[in-house]
A and B are shown apart, each in its own frame.
Chain A
Amino acid sequence: MSFISNISAEFIKIKRTFVYGLTVIATSFIPIINFMLCAERPKVMLGKFSSDAWLQFIQLTWKNMALGVLPMYLILLTNLIVQIEFRNNTWKQVYTLPRSYKDIFYSKYLIIHLLLIGFLILFDIFLIISAIAVSRVDENYKFSLSDLPINYLAVLTGRIYLGACTISAIQYWLSLKFRNFVIPLAIGGSLWLIGLMLIDWDNIIYYPYMYPTLMFLTDFAKHPDRLNILTLSACITFLFTTGLSFWQINSQREKG
């Protein structure tokens, strides 16, 4: 009961912040651009959707999301949520509440994950709306809800979420560790950019900031072993970083 109350309290803290605006902008941006592209340039775009229209549209839309928008969103979101306490100098009041350190740590962490899940679902909804809207504007596009490969979309979204968990864990740790908001932003942004530069490296499969991207880009039908490695690496990184982060918070001599 206490944990649920604290989750509600955490939701009040993000009221009137940029968190919800950022989520809506980041999820709607690519579907809107793709809608405009398809509507304005049917000659170029129709060819891409000649077979497996939905599959092609999902991949076209998810590509930019998995490569760029999602990692950046996660870096910004985690920073924004943790910075609410630093900016307002409220950590000291939080730690004098009758709340366990576990409760304080995980309630905020859970909010980040709930927002991340909401972000992914909202993005899928915008993706579907965008495709349906395109087919309404131009009848040559054949997107109907009955043909939507919902299982494929759900599995893809689930895998990308698992990949994104690793970034969230590392960014949460960095955001809690550094009071200065620029440091976690700079480290997160740099690690993501380095990952993009190293995308063709043989061992990129062990580079956590690329896990959501690799969950999308890797052809698991051709390389089923990579799915296992990626899933296992993502789970280990997520659990290890979360554990390390909590241990560090718990053992801090000075709180708040």
Chain B
Amino acid sequence: MIIETCHLDYSYNSKEPILKDINLKVPFGSIYGFLGPNGAGKTTTLRLLLSLLKSQDAPIRLFGMEMQGNRLAILKRIGSLIESPSLYTHLNARENLKIYQLSYECSKKRIDEVLNIVGLSGAAEKKTKAYSLGMKQRLAIAIALLNDPDLLILDEPTNGLDPNGIIEIRDLFKALNKEHGKTIVISSHLLPEIEKIATHVGIINQGKLLFQGTLPELQELKSNGLHIGVETNDQLRAIDLLKTNYQPTQTGNQLQISYRNNEQIAAINEFLVTNGIKVYRIGMINSDLEDIFIQIIKASQ
């Protein structure tokens, strides 16, 4: 494992713990999507991994080394972006990168390389004060890439990017992972975003790690909670007809029915029609992060 935490707890004050018993396990060479709603404890976990917060007793291991006593050796191999981009706004992009290049003591040509990677070569001499949020985010990613790290820890890296920018950055992360073997930890509160890129997923809510596993494992869990919404001319009769096999529930003006595959949707439709029910609308109800949480909690009970 490139990152491993063991029963990690954390609280800013003695009253309310922010993190409870987090056992993070990030495999080498993975893209680990760290999912959770705002305030779930994602940033606190990432800050602990980067030694921005002092962990209370529980060991944090990166690259097989304990953070305590190996901080510099570990940080040399990490590139990071935590919360909003950290930029010296009175300086231009090149000067910003020069500051970090001097501290990492990496080669000067890396500045042009990373500017090129994030597509900011044309705006390298422009003061970052005049940058849009998306450009700032790109420059922050360039800073994270500057020392050619083995591990990238990125807190909501696509914040502020336009749809094209999100696709470009996503492709960049995929290429860094596949072609250069970089391990990437990306936090996000958007499930679809993580699904498009991650190989492994950790889901955190209210300071507890609710799920950790591969993306197929998450998708299997998610499929257990798939629902369709059905609108008919006679909802009461439809419930009566379906209740034996599907346990439908009425939500608003539609019936919510759980299903496992597309054949079941066709079967439900055919069954209603052959019983004289007019089906006005039938469609999938997208399961969001909240549904997944409910699903995970149900599964753990």
Contacts and interface: CB of A to CB of B under 8 A. Distances in A.
A12 B86 contact: no
Interface stretch (A33-41, A95-103, A195-203): A95-103
Contacts of A90: 86-88
Interface in B18-50: 47, 50
B236 interface: no
A97 B53 contact: no
A15 B100 CA distance: 15
B54 interface: yes
A254 B51 CA distance: 9
Interface in A117-138: none
Given A6-B102, A12-B98, A88 B87 contact: yes
A48 interface: no
B78 interface: yes
A97 B53 CA distance: 14
Contacts of B78: 96
B195 interface: no
Contacts of A88: 86-89
B76 interface: yes
B224 to A, nearest CB: 39
Contact of B99 (A9, A17, A95): A9
B105 A1 contact: yes
Nearest to A87: B89
A147 to B, nearest CB: 45
B52 A5 contact: no
A133 to B, nearest CB: 35
A43 interface: no
Nearest to B153: A96
A35 to B, nearest CB: 33
B210 to A, nearest CB: 26
Contacts of B54: 253-254
Interface string B93-132: 0010011101111000000000000000000000000000
B152 to A, nearest CB: 12
A84 B99 CA distance: 13
A45 to B, nearest CB: 42
Interface in B138-192: 143
B105 A96 contact: no
A5 B105 contact: yes
B103 A97 contact: yes
A256 interface: yes
Given A16-B91, A88-B86, A256 B52 contact: yes
A146 interface: no
A140 interface: no
Nearest to B74: A98
Nearest to A90: B86
A13 B52 CA distance: 22
Interface in A75-99: 84, 88-90, 92-93, 95-99
Given A88-B88, A95-B51, A12 B95 contact: yes
Interface in A1-45: 1-2, 5-6, 8-9, 12-13, 15-17
Given A16-B90, A84-B88, A96 B98 contact: no
A211 B196 CA distance: 64
Contacts of B89: 88
A232 B143 CA distance: 45
B88 A95 contact: no
A9 B76 CA distance: 17
A255 interface: yes
Contact of B76 (A8, A12, A98): A98
Contact of B95 (A15, A89, A99, A253): A15
Contacts of B105: 1-2, 5
Nearest to B55: A253
A99 B52 contact: no
Given A253-B54, A256-B52, A9 B102 contact: yes
A99 B83 CA distance: 21
B65 interface: no
Given A1-B105, A84-B88, A95-B50, 16 more contacts: A5-B102, A5-B105, A12-B102, A88-B88, A88-B89, A89-B84, A90-B86, A90-B87, A92-B86, A93-B86, A93-B100, A96-B51, A96-B78, A98-B73, A99-B72, A254-B54
29 contacts: A2-B105, A5-B102, A5-B105, A6-B103, A9-B98, A9-B99, A9-B100, A9-B102, A9-B103, A12-B91, A15-B90, A15-B91, A16-B91, A88-B86, A89-B84, A90-B86, A90-B88, A93-B86, A93-B143, A95-B51, A96-B51, A97-B100, A97-B104, A98-B75, A98-B76, A254-B52, A254-B53, A254-B54, A255-B53
Interface of A: 1-2, 5-6, 8-9, 12-13, 15-17, 84, 88-90, 92-93, 95-100, 253-256
Interface of B: 12, 47, 50-54, 72-73, 75-76, 78, 80, 82-84, 86-91, 95, 98-100, 102-105, 143
